[in-house]
Structure 1
Amino acid sequence: MLRKVLLNVVMCHKTKGISQIGILIVSLITLQAYADQKQLYIYNWSDYMGPETISQFEQKTGIKVTYDTFNSNEELEHFLMTQPAKYDLVVPTSNFLAKQIDANIYQPLDKTKLPSYLKNLDPDILEMVSKDDPENTYSLPYMWISTGIGYNVDELNKRFNNAPPVDSWALLFEPNNAEKLADCGIAWLEAPSELFALALNYLGLDPNSATSEDYVKVSNLLSAVSPYVRYIDSTNLIDDLASGKVCVAIGWSGDIYQAMDKAAQSNNGIKIDYVIPKEGTFASFDVFAIPKTAKNVDEAYQFLNYLLEPKVIADISNYVYYANPNLAATQFVDEAIAQDPNIYPPKNVLEHLFALTLKSPRIERAILRTWADILESRSLANLSNEMN
């Protein structure tokens, strides 16, 4: 391309005059600047980065970032397994990372290029993530979260005589309760592997069960309450809970807190709360990893080092309301967040948290088949309602 422009400059000198030469020289400079522009392609969850994090990184480094988002681990995994190489950094949850490591998707991290990795990161978090990523070979922990119930306080009080059973998953997993909430709107995460684990745990079963019969029980449970669910989606939950379009949701802690903040900012009179039910829930660890197909590896390491800066990651936590694993960042995290037991759980809550483990292909197929059946039954029910 540049050689062609140079040839055009010479031809212009012979045929069109000096003004055209100037235009083509400007074009040449622009093309050269574009060719020299460093690039970075990131694929992350929606609503999972500070509003100025990317732009400030671009200003600091001169690297142009293309930042795309996904809504579920299943969506990310499908892309990684089936689509052409594009991204230099992706953000799977650690239990999904484990099977993607087995599929040889990622390249090991060069810790010599991440001088603050061991210096700043919480060794307890690294140890927990190492169950999915042995010796933390492939990943940099980003945020860790719980999954619980986000709810509109006033709407639930109306339907349960000021005593809603928000301390239990029974609120959403028992049909008689779900039916009372159908008119004001129930939302589920679009995360089948997570919902199945929650339902297994609620039934008193192993949340990481490898027994097919257990998944039949979960299928029956979820199928019984799914007709009362307004939608299954991870993207709209924050705005819809904050605006009152739904009144209760199974959601990630940070998303619910973002909904609280949006409702407060809009001064619409809606009060949102979040709870980890007494039966417990799981702790998830989202991590950054570099695919083997990454083309901008040096730029990827620059971004990871940027995230390891305490003030940078603290600002992200202050925006997304998720706990980060950077011990040096705690001093910069808003006190209300750092001391909130639903974001940074105390020991008595941690004892009721569990981790998700890698499922066998057989169990993964069972989950996806059952999930497809639930979605199909919901679609048929909606079609029937529209026809009546």
Structure 2
Amino acid sequence: MLRRLLPLLALLLAPASVAAQERVLNVYNWSDYIDPAVVERFTRETGIRVRYDVYDSLETLEGRLSAGRSGYDLIVPTSEPTFARLLRAGALLPLDRARIPNWGNLDPTLMARVAVIDPGNRHGAIYLWGTVGLGIRPDLVRAALPGVALDSLDILMKPENARRLARCGIMVMDSPTDVLPSVLRWLGRDPNGHSDADHRAAEAALRAIRPHVRAIVPSSAILDALATGEACVALTYSGDVIQAATRAREANRGVEVGYVMPREGAQLWFDLMAIPADAPNPEAAHAFINFLLQPDVMAAITNQVRYPNAVPTSRPMVAAAVRDDRNVFPDDAALARTFVAGTPPREAERARTRLWSRFKAGR
């Protein structure tokens, strides 16, 4: 009798096992980039358990996905270059907007800028966004460069300035995708220029300051160095600088950190919520995207990590100190001067990689 019941029991238990597997969401996101209470709330409201892994560089994310069968349901790649490359490779699942009723909360103007690389916004929804600029110790910069204007990449890119600032610590994030377009814009060139002349000009500018650069490291390391006062100038992401400023204030050690959004025009970037084509649980991923696009949820995330979101109706719920900070939410005039980096041709990308390797090596 028991032997005859075993197949029936197996059939009865199998759906429960499958259902249990389907109630797990596997997320891969940047480190220090969400409010943990938001993840807990999602599980509480949906019953979906979240396995949340983090990375500190796009190279790490791409390496994990390039192997195939990563096991992740939701990833948050930056628009350029990673999202664009994954899209070209067919590695992303088109989003089913019928499962994302909160899609309408997204800022159409910002989504239109993303549509340059994701036609029709079919594969990605903006999670958070920001600009590339300088994190500085204003007191040390003013002491080393009396009378300098604190609104330009001149602070770093003029060799005579870099030489005077070297003692207090200069850092550059290890990201040619973000650094080279900013350098080209500072030079008065097309930030999306990929000619040999553009590469030579950018390399010459970087080589001129290289002897004075202490470190070329991931942005997460720059955040820590700014917060502790180990660096006085760093080219990095706006949100990392703003987080560093908050940590410095909380530590109460007399370290003041400020952000410089370059008057020459700052690079605008977007981190996009996307679903890998081989995601084991795309249903849960759609549910999480829809959950995150609620105004109160996005406000909580912005309050925690100090990066702007793309849900305008969340703004009244963002803390005033964050909401009114023009480094977090640039005004229309500042946004009009920003640019979005495009996807370089493959040969230009290889040339850029070689250029960056020479810059890092100092030769």
What's the TM-score once normalised by structure 2's chain length? 0.90
Q: Partners in 2 of 1:156 and 1:366 — Cα distance? A: 34
Distance 1:374 1:250 in 2: 15
Q: Residue 223 of structure 2 is aligned with which of 231, 238, 249?
A: 238
Say if 2:118 is the partner of 1:107. Answer: no
* Candidates 133, 136, 156, aligned match of 1:148: 133
For residues 322 and 176 of structure 2, the distance between their equivalents in structure 1, rounded to whole angstroms, comes to 28
In the aligned structure 1, how far is the partner of 2:314 from the partner of 2:44?
22
| Deviation readout 1:96-155 (Å, 9 max, x if unpaired) | 32332111010100000001102x111111211111111110011111201111111222
Provide Cα deviations, 1:33-53, integer angstroms capped at 9, x if missing partner. 898252222111222111322
Q: How much has 1:84 moved relative to structure 2?
A: 4.1
Tell me, in whole angstroms, the C-alpha distance in 1 between the residues paired with 2:100 and 2:113. Answer: 20
> Aligned with 2:328: secondary structure?
coil
Number of the residue aligned with 1:98? 84
1:340 maps to which residue? 325
Match of 1:220 among 199, 204, 211: 204
Give the structure 2 partner of residue 321 of structure 1: 306
Of 292-301 and 35-44, more deviation after overlay is shown by 35-44
Alpha-carbon shift at residue 54 of structure 1 (Å): 2.1
Q: Which moved further from structure 2: 55-64 or 204-213?
A: 55-64
Match runs of 1:228-307 below 5 Å = 228-233=212-217, 234-307=219-292
Alpha-carbon distance in 2 for matches of 1:46, 1:249: 19
The CA distance in 2 between the partners of 1:229 and 1:82, in whole Å, is 34
Cα distance in 2 for residues equivalent to 1:229 and 1:70: 25
How much does 1:355 deviate? Answer: 0.8
1:360 maps to which residue? 345
- Retained in 2: the 8 A contact 1:150–1:250? yes
Task: Choose 1 or 2 for highest CA Rg.
Answer: 1
What is the CA distance between 1:325 and its match in structure 2? 0.8
Could you tell me how far apart the structure 2 residues matched to 1:224 and 1:231 are?
Answer: 15
Q: Structure 1: state its 5+ residue gaps.
A: 7-28, 379-388
Distance 1:334 1:63 in 2: 29
In structure 1, how many angstroms separate the alpha carbons of the residues matched to 2:297 and 2:17?
29
Question: Which among 182, 190, 198 is matched to residue 206 of structure 1?
Answer: 190
Residue deviations 1:260-305, cap 9 Å, x none? 1111111111111112122111111111000101001111112111
**More contact order relative to length (CA 8 Å, sep ≥ 6):** 2
Structure 1 window deviating more from structure 2 (182-191 vs 290-299): it is 182-191
Alignment of 1:60-209 (within 5 A): 60-82=45-67, 84-96=69-81, 97-118=83-104, 120-161=105-146, 163-209=147-193
Identify the residue that residue 37 of structure 2 maps to in structure 1. Answer: 52
Query: How far is 1:83 from its partner?
Result: 5.0
Q: Is this contact kept in 1: 2:169–2:213, CA < 8 A?
A: yes
Paired residue secondary structure (1:278): coil
Letter of the 1:328 partner, please give it: T
Q: Distance in 1 between matches of 2:302 and 2:281?
A: 26
Q: RMSD between aligned alpha carbons?
A: 2.2
Identical-residue share of aligned pairs (%): 37
Inter-CA distance 226–54: structure 2 relative to 1 (3 Å threshold): farther
Alignment TM-score, normalising by the size of structure 1:
0.85
User: Shift of residue 82 of structure 1?
Assistant: 3.5
The aligned counterpart of 1:10 is none
Distance in 2 between residues matched to 1:154 and 1:34, nearest whole Å: 59
1:194 to 1:343, Cα distance in 2 relative to 1, 3 A = same
Mapped to 2, the partners of 1:36 and 1:73 lie a distance apart of 31
Secondary structure at 1:295's aligned position in 2?
A: coil
